[in-house]
Amino acid sequence: MFSFAFGSDRIIGDSFGPIVGTKLKKLFEPMKNVYIIGDLENTVNNNNANNIINEICDKHNNPFIISIDSAFSNTSTNVGKIVVGKGGIWLGQSLGREKYIIGDMNIKGIVAKNMHNMRKNMYLLQNASLGQIAHMAEIVANGIYCSIDCE
């Protein structure tokens, strides 16, 4: 199993993925068949994601991939919720830097309401609640850990 945690450690609202990745690395540390890619020390973003995915697909046969990222919602009532879905994930959609990333499953932490304006969305990302993001990351990391049989 591979977990791709997307985002930046430099923007609070975008740190959901790297925080989940850091927590997962601690939980899965001794296990050899689980790979966590993307954490607070080594982030995965639009610039390096394709190279990492190509390397994994070259070295591993049909890996199960979970893509994790922060996201915007069309309503403010969804902020703080966690959304789980099938398939990959669209990176940078709310900031006009759209790129599809493969995956068998995706997990998104809703960090703000989409204002449909790149500047406003960037402002919301920079001023998101770190406490709320850390809480969502804890839930996701523990959920993944409890749901995977690694033996």
User: How sure is the predictor about 97, in pLDDT bands with cuts at 50, 70 and 90?
Assistant: low
This prediction has a pTM of 0.92
56-71 confidence digits (pLDDT tens): 888 888 888 999 999 9
CATH 3.40.50.1450 at 2-147, yes or no: yes
DSSP E strands in 38-130: the ranges are: 65-73, 82-86, 89-91, 99-101, 105-113
